């Protein structure tokens, strides 16, 4: 049970003066972060990791790590510091003119997709001619380019002349796709950017390693969509199953799955998505009456597609077979006793007969009648009463061994 949410996202291209840190190998700082006592850099811990270092030098290292964003002023490691402990790479800052490609969407927030160092142009010296820089750019957040996976960077600050706000030159916009894949049964999700971005020398393919959103309750989310869109049936969150009437499509009756289309869906805090198709939504009967109707429908079609004569034992096994390991089993559908089944299927116009199964054509009902009548008429000997009695499927979740009861 999966879906793929897609959105076209504007990518803004801007040039500005920034303090940008790129991740570079610094194994000595990575060693400090990895060996931090309880996730905190202390003078004692640093002295233990680097024997012979004075306490003053250890204090200086803590301040250096704080300035690089590896820890706070108390020495507690940040996400950058924890990552440095694993990768041995730390963000080394440098001020200059940078070209940024920025995307915005509720799913990813504000995301810098790629960054390149560029040379300042003469027109950039006229600060007043530039436009205000976007102030929602994420600061001190480690990011990775979606073009060059080896390029890690951190926007540290946007310096500006005293008393003035940061400004930039806006170069234009283009678009790429934001794709969010949801697996409702596994409760897994992943999202990434796809498409191409023009870096000035032609369009370059996006290569974004998939990311995920934590704490997303996907089964409950689908239930919310079903209620908002007025979906027929009720969504069982615990079973990940849409319970409803007998489906109209034969493939849904036999596969217990359906593809459901929504014109739009809303994911709280993650945006609105259009034209959504959820594949392989699991189906089940709304109640025992529906399960009974569903089971007999599958049984009748199997009888019609099989041999013209089957003994009672084979028919009973066939009934259990169409129920076993399906959502019908928990409702324990029944195969009517032989005499009752014949009265239901009787093609004669007698007003005394019961109504035939809903939707069953006259020709098929006649065929079913004679195939069931043949159980007794063509049997080589007397058919045991137990094989003609009411058949009840086994316990919930499995057809199990039948329980035979005489007809009333």
Note the pLDDT tens digit of each residue in 274-288: 999 999 999 999 999
Does 37 score more than 70 pLDDT? yes
Nearest to 313 by CA among 378, 390, 388: 388
Residue 262 has pLDDT above 50, yes or no: yes
Distant-in-sequence, close-in-space partners of 138: CB < 8 Å, separation ≥ 6: 109, 110, 111, 112, 155
Q: Taking 50 as the threshold, does the pLDDT of residue 50 lie above it?
A: yes
Beta strands in 143-256 (DSSP E): 143-144, 152-157, 167-183, 188-194, 196-198, 203-205, 234-236, 241-244
Distance CA 265, CA 226 (A): 10
Which pLDDT score is estimated for 267?
A: 97
> For 263-292, what is the mean pLDDT?
97
Query: Predicted confidence band at 399 (pLDDT cuts at 50, 70, 90)?
Result: very low
Give tens-digit pLDDT for 130-185: 999 999 999 988 899 999 988 889 999 999 988 899 999 999 999 999 999 999 99
pLDDT value for 187: 95
* pLDDT single digits (tens) 173-225: 999 999 999 999 999 999 999 999 998 878 899 999 999 999 999 999 999 99
Confidence of residue 393 (pLDDT cuts 50, 70, 90): confident
Nearest to 28 by CA among 85, 112, 91: 85
Confidence label for 406 from pLDDT (cuts 50, 70 and 90): very low
Are 197 and 203 spatial neighbours (Cβ–Cβ below 8 Å)? yes
Residue among 223, 221, 229 nearest 268 (CA): 221
252-255: list long-range contacts, CB under 8 Å, 24+ apart. Answer: 252/283, 253/294, 253/297, 253/298, 254/298
Tens of pLDDT along 70-105?
999 899 999 889 989 998 988 889 999 999 999 999
CB 197 within 8 A of CB 56: no
Averaged confidence pLDDT in the chain: 89
Per-residue pLDDT tens digits for 316-359: 999 999 999 999 999 999 999 999 999 988 887 555 544 445 56
Q: What is the pLDDT of residue 408?
A: 32
Q: How far is CA 241 from CA 85, 189, 277, 405, in A?
A: 44, 19, 16, 32
What is the structure's pLDDT at 401?
Answer: 41
pLDDT (mean) for 362-371: 91
């Amino acid at each position: 049970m999966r879906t793929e949410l897609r959105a076209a996202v504007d990518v803004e291209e801007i040039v500005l003066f920034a303090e940008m840190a790129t991740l570079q190998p610094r194994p000595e700082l990575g060693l400090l972060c990895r060996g931090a006592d309880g996730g905190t850099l202390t003078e004692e811990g640093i002295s233990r990791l680097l024997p012979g270092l004075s306490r003053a030098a250890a204090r200086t290292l803590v301040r250096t790590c704080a300035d690089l964003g590896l820890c706070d002023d108390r020495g507690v490691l940040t996400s950058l510091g924890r990552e440095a402990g694993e990768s041995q790479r730390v963000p080394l800052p440098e001020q200059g003119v940078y070209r940024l490609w920025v995307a915005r969407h509720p799913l990813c927030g504000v995301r810098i997709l790629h960054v390149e160092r560029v040379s300042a142009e003469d027109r950039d010296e006229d600060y007043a001619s530039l436009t205000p820089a976007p102030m929602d750019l994420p600061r001190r957040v480690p990011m990775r380019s979606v073009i060059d996976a080896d390029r890690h960077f951190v926007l540290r600050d946007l310096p500006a002349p005293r008393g003035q706000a940061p400004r930039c030159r806006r170069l234009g916009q283009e678009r790429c796709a934001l794709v969010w894949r949801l697996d409702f049964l596994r409760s897994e999700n992943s999202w990434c950017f796809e498409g191409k971005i023009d870096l000035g020398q032609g369009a370059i393919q996006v290569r974004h390693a998939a990311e995920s959103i934590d704490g997303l309750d996907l089964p409950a989310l689908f239930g919310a969509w079903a209620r908002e869109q007025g979906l027929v049936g009720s969504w069982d969150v615990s079973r990940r199953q849409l319970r409803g009437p007998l489906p109209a499509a034969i493939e849904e009756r036999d596969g217990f799955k359906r593809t459901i289309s929504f014109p739009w869906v809303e994911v709280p805090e993650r945006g609105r998505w259009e034209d959504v198709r959820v594949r392989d939504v699991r189906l089940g009967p709304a109640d025992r009456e529906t399960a009974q109707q569903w089971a007999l429908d599958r049984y009748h079609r199997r009888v019609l597609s099989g041999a013209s004569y089957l003994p009672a034992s084979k028919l009973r096994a066939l009934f259990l077979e169409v129920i076993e390991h399906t959502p019908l089993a928990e409702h324990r559908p029944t195969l009517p006793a032989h005499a009752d089944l014949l009265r239901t299927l009787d093609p004669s116009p007698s007003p005394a007969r019961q109504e035939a199964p809903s939707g069953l054509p006259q020709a098929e009902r006649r065929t079913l009648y004679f195939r069931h009548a043949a159980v007794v008429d063509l049997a080589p000997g007397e058919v045991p009463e137990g094989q003609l009695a009411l058949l009840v499927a086994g316990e919930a979740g499995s057809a199990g061994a039948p329980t035979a009861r005489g007809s009333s």
